[in-house]
């Protein structure tokens, strides 16, 4: 991921450019020294379709649920076997069927099952939890914990355990007090001959992490299409427009 950062000494024309890895797991900014970087505000170049400009994103958490079973010979399994895969499936279908990525849009949040591995003795469910609204985000995490407690009441303490980890939060509250940063980017996009499209990210950027570390950081399009699929691509024409937006920002400050 790439950043175009404006230095506090803007009148001297100073900027900073940085790169971070691993944005998708919310840890790309773990070792990014915001204080040493010495910027007042920044932009990430991590957006999708040409013209996109974003300063709202999901609140995000990862969730790993491990279900522990008991394996015995199926011929002698009566009232002895605990099939962790079946219990994990039972837990998974207790989540709202329509609150998944394929059934939500706009500001709607979701639970997304991203991985399953299992045997009779142990099964893991890996989820990501997303919501633009912080209160609903916290409610979703509590719901996952509630379902784990429900499974443990039915099958016994320790049958299932859960690990929740917050990844990033909605940068909106940190960017809104400095909306001139968004307006600069919006004008730069227009000056590049592109219609700005201001919209919430149904995802996140390292800019969300940096915003909460004191570096307000809206997100500008890079021009990519079909992200996270085997058909992901980036038109050269869109990349050229993104480059022009960067130049317009630099020359305007």
CATH of the domain at 202: 3.40.630.10
Same domain, 132 and 46: no
The reported pLDDT for the residue numbered 1 is 47
Q: Of the candidates 142, 168, 194, which is a domain's last residue?
A: 168
Same domain, 101 and 16: no
Same domain, 44 and 84: no
The reported pLDDT for the residue numbered 2 is 46
Same domain, 70 and 158: yes
Same domain, 86 and 158: yes
The reported pLDDT for the residue numbered 109 is 98
Q: Tens digit of pLDDT for each residue in 119-154?
A: 999 999 999 999 999 999 999 999 999 999 999 999
**Distance of CA 56 to CAs 152, 167, 196, 203, 222, Å?**
37, 15, 15, 9, 17
Q: Of the candidates 114, 136, 168, which is a domain's last residue?
A: 168
Same domain, 246 and 180: yes
Neighbours of 162 (CB within 10 A): 18
Q: What global pTM score does this model have?
A: 0.85
Q: Of the candidates 125, 141, 168, which is a domain's last residue?
A: 168
Same domain, 211 and 86: no
**Phi-psi group of 43: left, alpha or beta (phi > 0 → left; psi -120 to 50 → alpha; rest → beta):** beta
**Domain range holding 195?**
2-57+170-252
Q: Tens digit of pLDDT for each residue in 217-241?
A: 999 998 888 887 888 888 899 999 9
Distance of alpha carbon 253 from alpha carbon 189, whole angstroms: 15
Who's near 232: CB < 8 A, 6+ residues apart?
Answer: 224, 225, 226
Helical H segments across 10-162, by residue range: 34-37, 84-92, 134-155
The reported pLDDT for the residue numbered 17 is 86
Q: How many domains does the chain divide into?
A: 2
Same domain, 146 and 183: no
Same domain, 48 and 139: no
The reported pLDDT for the residue numbered 11 is 47
Given a contact cutoff of 8 angstroms between Cβ atoms, the answer to whether 144 and 162 are in contact is yes
Same domain, 154 and 206: no
Rg over alpha carbons for the chain, rounded to the nearest Å, is 22
Q: Is the pLDDT of residue 7 over 70?
A: no
Distance of alpha carbon 243 from alpha carbon 174, whole angstroms: 26
Q: Tens digit of pLDDT for each residue in 16-39?
A: 888 877 566 657 788 888 988 888
The reported pLDDT for the residue numbered 20 is 76
Q: Tens digit of pLDDT for each residue in 173-189?
A: 999 999 999 999 999 99
Q: Report the CATH number that the domain containing residue 131 is assigned in CATH.
A: 3.30.70.360
Query: Pairing state of beta strands 122-131 and 59-68?
Result: antiparallel
Same domain, 51 and 107: no
Q: Is the pLDDT of residue 81 over 50?
A: yes
- Cross-sheet strand order for the sheet of 15-19: 15-19, 2-6, 41-47, 219-221, 52-54, 197-198
Same domain, 52 and 98: no
DSSP letter assigned to residue 182 = H
Closest CA to 183 of 101, 231, 191: 191
């Amino acid at each position: 991921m790439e950043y175009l950062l404006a230095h506090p000494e803007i009148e001297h024309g100073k900027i900073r450019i940085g790169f971070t890895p691993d944005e998708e797991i919310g840890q790309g900014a773990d070792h990014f020294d915001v204080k040493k970087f010495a910027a007042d505000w920044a932009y990430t170049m991590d957006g999708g379709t040409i013209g996109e400009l974003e300063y709202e994103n999901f609140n995000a958490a990862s969730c790993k649920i491990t279900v522990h079973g008991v394996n015995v010979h199926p011929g002698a399994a009566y009232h002895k076997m605990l099939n962790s895969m079946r219990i994990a499936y039972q837990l998974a279908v207790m989540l709202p069927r329509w609150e998944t990525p394929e059934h939500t849009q706009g500001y709607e949040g979701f639970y997304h099952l991203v991985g399953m591995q299992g045997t009779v003795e142990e099964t893991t469910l890996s989820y990501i939890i997303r919501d633009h609204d912080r209160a609903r985000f916290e409610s979703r995490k509590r719901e996952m914990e509630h379902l784990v407690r429900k499974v443990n009441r039915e099958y016994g303490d320790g049958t299932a355990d859960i690990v929740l980890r917050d990844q990033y939060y909605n940068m909106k509250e940190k960017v809104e007090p400095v909306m001139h940063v968004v307006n600069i980017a919006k004008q730069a996009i227009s000056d590049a001959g592109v219609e700005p499209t201001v919209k919430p990210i149904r995802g996140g950027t390292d800019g969300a992490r940096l915003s909460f570390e004191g570096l307000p950081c809206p997100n500008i399009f890079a021009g990519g299409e079909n992200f996270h699929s085997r058909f992901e691509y980036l038109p050269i024409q869109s990349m050229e427009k993104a480059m022009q937006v960067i130049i317009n920002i630099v020359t305007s400050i």
